[in-house]
Amino acid sequence: MSDIPEAPAELRRLLASGPFPAALRAAIAGSGLSLDRIQYRLRRQGTPISLATLSSWQSGRRQPERAASMAALGRLEQILGVPPGALAALVGPRRARGRSVYTGAPDLAEVYRDWDPIAGLLGEFDTSSDDLLIRLSQYERLVVGPDGRLRELHCRALVRAATNDVRSSIVIDHADDGSASVIRPVRGCTLGAVRSRPEAGLTIAELRLPHPLQRGELLLMEYVVEFTPPFPRDRDTSRRLRLPVREYVIDVEFTRPALPARCVQFTAPREDETARTERVLTLDGHDRVCAMGVDLDPCVFGIRWEWPGPPP
């Protein structure tokens, strides 16, 4: 392009005709900057983007589409020294991702970008496949030990690929009082990359699917989160649902003598977690409570409990 004569011929050609991923790779290579350095500069300029997102843009797995992503792309053009709008002009039309209600779902990296230390660890993962995996039905069973501390969480999910070549899912486990967990696949997945911050009670794991799912393909996944000593003392369990879910069930199983005085199911809009709706739950004959949601919109959904005094 005539306004950047110093740019290599190949970069000029790609900026003129694309495709976007190739032009972005060439611009990054020509800048001499690492992705870490680029991410740092974007954050300093008020447009933070995760390393996983930058990587997925380069690979072509995803492209910038939302307003925040396009704003970051404008800053990125300045950082890489390419003409304003040169990369943005190469971005194709918004990609279809299944049902229209799904298309507007926030990226996993964007949901947690202000959550330390989750955001830091999550930036080491490619979350693009997880963003394209629709949870149709999810069941979780949490076991609370006789000392009132968490022992394990059994998870089963029926998922559907919203597009082709969906390869993995991301599991985030975060306990309040610190104790890294172990993620153990049971069915429909194998363990990939794992990162943890034991002092923060945080573990993030990649669950690799048995083969790349094609659009509309269904898969039943099961895995267990095994908590480690000293076991977490959390008094609630919840899930931040980024996408609508047809059916979501949480079972909490208590172990005598540690029985709660009160259990409450809560639901909160994702945009305002203080605006909760609550429903009191009653222990059944097996010392369990169950929260059920049907046709849930994106929200925070969970159960909290209160002890009659200090846990036994």
Please choose, from the candidates 79, 73, 72, 8, the residue with its C-alpha nearest in 3D space to the C-alpha of residue 37.
Answer: 79
Q: Tell me the C-alpha distance between 229 and 179, whole Å.
A: 7
**Do residues 158 and 188 make contact, with C-beta atoms less than 8 angstroms apart?**
no
0.95 exceeded by pTM: no
Half-sphere exposure of 15 (CA within 13 A, CB side): 24
CATH class as words, domain 9-90: mainly alpha
The set of residues, in sequence order, having a beta carbon less than 8 Å from that of 129 and lying 6+ positions away, is 61, 166, 167, 168, 169, 209
Residues 256-306 pLDDT 10s: 999 999 999 999 987 666 678 999 999 999 999 999 998 888 889 999 999
Residue 245, H or E segment:
strand 245-253
- Give me the pLDDT at residue 96, please: 41
Q: What percent of the chain has pLDDT over 90?
A: 47
Which CATH code for domain 103-306? 2.60.40
CA distance 61 to 78: 23
190-197 sheet: strands from edge to edge: 166-174, 202-213, 190-197
For residue 174, which of 217, 236, 131, 248 has the smallest C-alpha distance?
236
pLDDT of residue 5: 42
- Beta bridge pairs of residue 187: 222
User: Are the C-beta atoms of 209 and 219 separated by less than 8 Å?
Assistant: yes
- 299 pairs with which residues across the strands? 241, 269
Domain residue ranges of the chain, discontinuous segments joined by +? 9-90, 103-306
Mean pLDDT for the chain overall: 85
pLDDT at 125 over 70: yes
* pLDDT digits 0-9 by tens, 60-74: 767 887 777 888 899
